Structure 1
Amino acid sequence: MLRTTVAACLASLLIAPASAALQPSDAPPAAKGWRAVPIADGVNHPWGMAWLPDGRLLVTSKSGTLHLLSGKKFSAVPMEGLPSVFASGQGGLLDIAVHPADKRNVRVYMTLSTGTANANRTTLVQGIFDGKKLHSIKTLFQVQPDKSGTEHFGSRLLFMPDNTLLMSIGDGGNPPRQIGGMLARDQAQNLGSHQGSILRLTDTGKPAAANPLAARPGALPEIFSYGHRNIQGMVRDAAGRIWATEHGPRGGDELNLVQGGQNYGWPLQSFGADYRTAEPIGKPEVPGMTAPKIAWVPSPGASGLAYYTGSHFPQWRGSLFSGGLASMDVRRIALDKGGNVLTQERLAIGQRVRDVRQGPDGHLYLITDEANGRLMRIVPE
């Protein structure tokens, strides 16, 4: 029965790539009729957030701590067994997800960077939250091969309806950074490497059954899709489609419709340019590779991603909301029923937005990337 469910889930994601030429998108016009209400602050550079079954909110800090929001205050959550966090550059304690099947003694999943400046990797851990502390933390999965430097760890988590887990992994870094004798960014086209891919795992960290590339010679069995640079947002919509936002270099941030087994082209297909030379990287469109639904030029620094189903803004239902680090905004992306982008507009926040989520109360929430990170709720004006 599980195999049938998994196969049906994967079949719904194996969508043929669009063939229409894509034009890059600049900053959209301002959205109206909303305001951001501060809820709480006090987390040092927050990165990810997830709600517990009882309605309380867990937030990770990139520095390596976990925080719980009760009412309007954050408190530190003791953690027992967490591996040493490599908190440097873009590395640290990153995303967090709660197992959807749990009501008590909730299994909490987190991604973090571990290792040293010369040998590090993105790591997936699982612990048990008993209401006061996170204990029995164990390592479920580690990305291979190791890399050096402090760039492009990813990493967002997303549970699927069959309780498998999607985990995004960055490509390993910008030139001249190398992995295995090649530029790190070229690892995104190497199916023998986890770098630059989305993985699909069981809730125990093993390769999920029926992964679309598992039978390909030389491919690692965990890989679900590849050719990604550095995914920073990932969400599932009401129709079961998976959406992801990722960073491009010097322009070319992307919104992608994630399709099992597809190659998203990086670094052969891109709207971005090299940081050192300003020369274009790859081509905007490459036959056989899946094109993004949006390419933002200049880059907003796309971050967390939410899909809105709430009642507070009926006109926004069915839209994606993408945070922006460099643009200091949240972008609303209106979709039609077929998953095509209709329009965009921006909610100017004025601070770096690290994550955007819809809470259990139907409100949109965002958290800012600051030394005193702030949680805000979006409400009608």
Structure 2
Amino acid sequence: MKSASLALAGLVVALTAGCSADSASSGALGPVTAADDEGWPFAVEEVDRFDEPWAMAFLPDGDLLLTERAGTLHLRDAATGERVEVVGTPEVVDAGQGGLGDVLPGPTYAEDGLVYLSWAEAGDGGVGAAVGRARLETGSEPALSDLRVIWRQTPKTDGEGHFSHRLAFSPDGEHLYVSSGDRQLKDPAQDTTNTLGSIVRLTLDGEPAPGNPMADAGGATAEIWSWGHRNPLGLEFAPDGTLWSSEMGPEGGDELNLVEAGANYGWPEASDGSDYGGGEIPDHAEGDGYAAPVRSWTPSISPGSLLIYSGEMFPDWEGDAFLGALSGEALVRVDLEEQRAADTEVYDLGERVRAVEQGPDGAIWLLEDEGAGRLLRLTPAG
């Protein structure tokens, strides 16, 4: 198995003082400081805290939608920082890795107020991911109205892991992409009669998109864009229109993938990591028929999210990938050049980073996992 230290070549920044016990107990918000911040490429400001956050997305007016796993959806005012709970969210299975997941304003949000959400739901056969669409009613009492499920992960299974259910819209606003984890079952990721271990491409109504690689097969197969995935928890389009995914491997073998139509990414037949308990898995190799990752990590960093930067605030980072690392407790930047990984930098936050998002002004926003739960805003240093 391949091995690479988490202390990757590049800048390693420690942001330790901002997560001290005294700071957490006081509830004080503001700049995050450390004993030696010389050379930091960004300043870090703590702007809010949450109990068990999972995802966030900015609305066109700059307000922020933010999910918590237990089922709460927050709407945070851009001007005042005040937040209110949005009522009308779906009933979720809040267990293991399940709960309320991703949220995104739809491509036509400015005209119709439609937002898309993902969550874990119970049903025949066990539990599975679902995606729904609703109208966001703003005002003094924000609410979701006319919520309906437009897609379900198939089949539902036992267990509480690997739902994935990240959402992304194509740059032209015509298609919805959903990442669907293997539910810790491995083999279904190589079976294209189900949607486990795949990335699906849908219309905005949740139907299989015309032109999908196996559209003529019908059923779940017609939804599939790519397969052989394990637990893709990041899904994002780059400024050049390419689709990228960050994916948790087994014991090592975390991946950053360029997602292409009809490609098989190998799980569980190929991985740059090892199975739990020491079982060997063949590495990705040229000619094996599987799409190899652009970048992989062993030991694991546990990428829980992905941003491909396109803002103006950090011009040198345009087109670069930013991964929120959970077990790695860091923000990881991968310099992408011509769809290949160049330099990598690891910014050690000392907390699990659950989500990474780009603000309307180009600032980078981080959301820490439950326990710390800080909402952080990164702007250029100096």
Report the TM range for the smaller structure's normalisation: 0.7 to 0.9
SS in structure 2 of the partner of residue 215 of structure 1: helix
The equivalent residue for 1:153 is 163
**Contact kept? 2:75, 2:86, Cα under 8 Å:** no
Alpha-carbon offset, residue 63 of structure 1: 1.0
| Structure 1 residue 142 corresponds to structure 2 residue 152 | yes
Alpha-carbon offset, residue 293 of structure 1: 0.5
Structure 2: segments with no counterpart, 5+ residues: 13-39
Q: Decide which of 166, 170, 174 is 1:163's aligned counterpart.
A: 174
Query: CA separation in 2, counterparts of 1:250 and 1:318?
Result: 29
Residues 97-125 of structure 1: CA deviation (Å, up to 9, x unaligned): 11122214411111100016960110011
TM-score by length of 1: 0.86
Deviates more, 1:27-36 or 1:57-66: 27-36
| Structure 1 residue 119 corresponds to structure 2 residue 126 | yes
The equivalent residue for 2:110 is 103
**Contact kept? 1:271, 1:280, Cα under 8 Å:** no
Query: CA separation in 1, counterparts of 2:137 and 2:218?
Result: 43
SS in structure 1 of the partner of residue 365 of structure 2: strand
Query: CA separation in 2, counterparts of 1:371 and 1:24?
Result: 30
Indicate the percent of aligned positions where both proteins have the same amino acid: 36
Alpha-carbon offset, residue 332 of structure 1: 0.9
Residues 313-363 of structure 1: CA deviation (Å, up to 9, x unaligned): 222222111110011111111111x21111100122111100101111111
**Contact kept? 2:132, 2:147, Cα under 8 Å:** yes
The equivalent residue for 2:183 is 172
Residues 191-242 of structure 1: CA deviation (Å, up to 9, x unaligned): 0011000001111111111111223588611000000000011111111111
The equivalent residue for 2:21 is none
Query: CA separation in 2, counterparts of 1:212 and 1:196?
Result: 16
SS in structure 2 of the partner of residue 234 of structure 1: strand
The equivalent residue for 1:379 is 379
Alpha-carbon offset, residue 372 of structure 1: 5.4
Q: Decide which of 61, 68, 78 is 1:54's aligned counterpart.
A: 61
Q: Decide which of 76, 83, 89 is 2:90's aligned counterpart.
A: 83
The equivalent residue for 1:222 is 223
The equivalent residue for 1:133 is 143
Counterpart of 1:352, as a letter, is R
SS in structure 2 of the partner of residue 103 of structure 1: helix
Query: CA separation in 2, counterparts of 1:163 and 1:79?
Result: 28
Q: How does 1:287-302 map to 2 (within 5 A)?
A: 287-302=288-303
**Contact kept? 2:209, 2:215, Cα under 8 Å:** no
Alpha-carbon offset, residue 282 of structure 1: 3.6
Root-mean-square deviation (CA, aligned residues, Å) is: 2.0
Q: Decide which of 21, 37, 50 is 2:45's aligned counterpart.
A: 37
**Contact kept? 2:62, 2:360, Cα under 8 Å:** yes
| Structure 1 residue 357 corresponds to structure 2 residue 357 | yes
Change in 2 beyond 3 A, CA 1:83/1:219: closer
Deviates more, 1:368-377 or 1:87-96: 368-377
**Contact kept? 2:351, 2:372, Cα under 8 Å:** no
The equivalent residue for 1:15 is none
Query: CA separation in 1, counterparts of 2:270 and 2:308?
Result: 27
Deviates more, 1:63-72 or 1:213-222: 213-222
Counterpart of 1:37, as a letter, is E
Runs of 4+ in 1 over 6 A off after TM superposition: none
Q: How does 1:328-367 map to 2 (within 5 A)?
A: 328-336=329-337, 338-367=338-367
Alpha-carbon offset, residue 83 of structure 1: 3.5
Q: How does 1:290-329 map to 2 (within 5 A)?
A: 290-329=291-330
**Contact kept? 2:228, 2:268, Cα under 8 Å:** yes
**Contact kept? 1:117, 1:149, Cα under 8 Å:** no
**Contact kept? 1:111, 1:122, Cα under 8 Å:** yes
Alpha-carbon offset, residue 304 of structure 1: 1.3
Change in 2 beyond 3 A, CA 1:219/1:107: closer
Residues 22-49 of structure 1: CA deviation (Å, up to 9, x unaligned): 96543223254223211111x2211111
The equivalent residue for 2:25 is none
Query: CA separation in 1, counterparts of 2:237 and 2:343?
Result: 19
**Contact kept? 2:106, 2:116, Cα under 8 Å:** yes
**Contact kept? 1:30, 1:348, Cα under 8 Å:** no
Change in 2 beyond 3 A, CA 1:166/1:125: same
Change in 2 beyond 3 A, CA 1:118/1:272: farther
Query: CA separation in 1, counterparts of 2:197 and 2:44?
Result: 34
Residues 237-292 of structure 1: CA deviation (Å, up to 9, x unaligned): 111111100000110000000001100000001012222x2122243326111000
The equivalent residue for 1:8 is none
Q: How does 1:61-76 map to 2 (within 5 A)?
A: 61-70=68-77, 71=79, 73=81, 75-76=83-84
